[in-house]
Chain A
Amino acid sequence: MRALTWHGKHDVRVDTVDDPEILNPRDAIIKVTSTAICGSDLHLYDGYIPTMQAGDILGHEFMGEVVETGPGSTLKKGQRVVVPFTIACGSCYHCGKNQYSACDNSNPADNQDIADTLYGQPMAGLFGYSHMTGGYSGGQAEYVRVPFSDVGPIVIPDGIEDDKVLFLSDILPTGWQAAENAEIEPGDTVAVWGCGPVGLFCVQSAFLMGAARVIAIDHFPRRLEMAAKFGAETINYEESQTYEALMEMTGGIGPDACIDAVGLEAHGLFVDNVWDQIKASTFLGTDRAHSIRQAILACRKGGRVSMPAVYGGFVDKFPLGAFMQKGLTLKTGQTHVQRYLPGLLTAILEEKIDTTFLISHRLGLEQAPDGYRMFHDHQNDVTKVVLKPGFDRVAA
């Protein structure tokens, strides 16, 4: 099959590789019809994520048609499914508590050592995202082996186009969980740092959860315009001072809940030395930690801070004093995608959540390297690239 493979910094290629096979009873093979490039894929592209190996297949946002099933799979050939980026067994203690991204079993035993050492306990396996999270082949390919296919994938009714449901795989539930973690109460004012895909889904989710006002913060005009379309007020931090603006816009109280959706969009995994490298680069700079610091300072006393953005290593100058003295609550974590799928699919079908607005570019799988380059170089205009392996198949 053809697949987008990683070979090093700014070097991704579409190669011919061996097709996946059923290896365990609960596996299924999915023929990919749509797969997106995630903001967090750019950090693989930029070479910041450790434990990558040349030839790794990228991609963790994908959907497609079931073409093969193991004897323990509950899927049927021909079904269309969206696959969560988090792989979860459904039978361990954490899965039983709906904490799917903390699954004990989906990260292979040997790979768990790295996270065991860095984080104290290993997290779930992820598709296409380095060997620390399992080393699973990703979805930017014609076919994918999906383990525990009786637990993760959600079946999509006929007649619903891919573009409407593809983002169930990651960024929509990630935005939703971030808003849920903000424990929004009716009438609240919610501030969202970052209007990337996750931030924009936070805006929609916050309103659905009863927020009276959402204030979106970014510096890309196109993204702020999208936030405004969903009813958010905007702060362009290149034009105005964020903390001062937030205080004035809330009558000196501060937002009731603050969501930090800046940064690596939920699944970058960093060690401290890599973190230092990032801090030294002008691309990421120290603004990453700046947004969480600012969220803590701006948040009203006794308010909530939610952090879907990833901080994998160590952050210095964390305002622990402000955090404690103001009695804030911080909730964070990788997304428990499986927990939210049925509810969010219904919300999409009932047109309560708009997902397709995000897609700026649709390309064939063979154009994937161009997609990475465009997404990397033109963040204002390229909001989301969706790859359609079918485009190539039709063309060929």
Chain B
Amino acid sequence: MVAPHDDAPITTSKRTEKTAQAAENIADPKGSSLVGRSVTINRPRHELYVQWRDFSQFPNFMENVERVEMIDDVTSHWAVKGPGGSTIEWDAIITQDQPDSLIAWSSADGADVANSGRVEFHDAGERGTIVTATILYDPPAGILGRLVAKLFQREPAIQTRRDLRRFKQLMETGEVATSARTTKELEEETA
């Protein structure tokens, strides 16, 4: 077979079997659908790593995450908005941690919403740092699917890129941009 000569990231592949390859990059893969997204952030790698490593900060830029508590250095407890004002909760374990370059996590066994992810930090010279998130999740199906759909607001790919944009805004400008005019509008937006 002739090599396809394709340096494009696996997450952009048209071939579904590539998902399995991507999963190999996550130490304890959970979930069967793949989302990948990169964003360049005009801040040093170390600063971004430190901010991300503190999962309790996720609600500042992840729209659907209500809170994340660090139980110990590798275990976190997640509370995420579900349908009808409900909250879905699970534990996640940090499976890989390379300071200033890589963090990977997976939901603990028995979680209602199996998911796992990995975020990498690469130097981008004068442009700062390229942050690449790879998320594996179970696609929507049945009741669980509806939970997942709500969890990721329509589609995980959209949610991931929006959350990464907010992370970039927060790190570059110190705040998350909003076009709300009043506190009330802002609360409705983030509800």
Contacts and interface: CB of A to CB of B under 8 A. Distances in A.
A18 B178 contact: no
B181 A18 contact: yes
A21 B182 contact: yes
Contacts of B127: 93
Given A23-B183, A25-B175, A148-B173, A92 B42 contact: yes
Nearest to B177: A108
Contacts of B182: 18-21, 23
A112 B165 contact: yes
A20 B180 CA distance: 9
A125 B179 contact: yes
Contacts of A18: 181-182, 184
Interface string A267-289: 00000000000000000000000
A64 interface: no
B128 to A, nearest CB: 7
Interface stretch (A43-51, A131-139, A327-335, A378-386): A131-139
A342 B169 CA distance: 27
Interface in B150-178: 158, 161-163, 165-166, 168-169, 172-178
Interface in A67-97: 72, 89-93, 96
A378 to B, nearest CB: 33
A242 interface: no
Nearest to A96: B42
Most chain A CB inside 10 Å of its own CB: which residue of B128, B161, B182, B186: B182
Contacts of B163: 109
Q: State the main secondary structure of chain A at its contact with B.
A: loop
**Interface range, A side:** 35 or more
Most chain B CB inside 10 Å of its own CB: which residue of A24, A57, A105: A105
A25 B186 contact: no
Contacts of B181: 17-18, 20-21, 57, 137, 145
Contacts of A147: 177-178
Contacts of A125: 177, 179
Nearest to B124: A93
Nearest to A133: B179
B40 interface: yes
B162 A109 contact: yes
A142 interface: no
Contacts of B183: 21, 23
Interface in A1-45: 17-21, 23-26
Contacts of A20: 181-182
B42 to A, nearest CB: 5
A204 interface: no
Given A25-B174, A109-B169, 14 more contacts: A23-B182, A26-B173, A57-B181, A91-B173, A93-B42, A93-B128, A105-B168, A105-B169, A105-B177, A110-B162, A112-B165, A137-B179, A145-B181, A147-B177
28 contacts: A18-B182, A20-B182, A21-B183, A23-B178, A24-B176, A24-B178, A25-B174, A26-B174, A89-B169, A89-B172, A89-B177, A91-B172, A92-B172, A93-B42, A93-B128, A96-B42, A104-B172, A105-B169, A109-B162, A109-B165, A109-B176, A112-B162, A113-B161, A116-B161, A125-B179, A134-B177, A137-B179, A147-B177
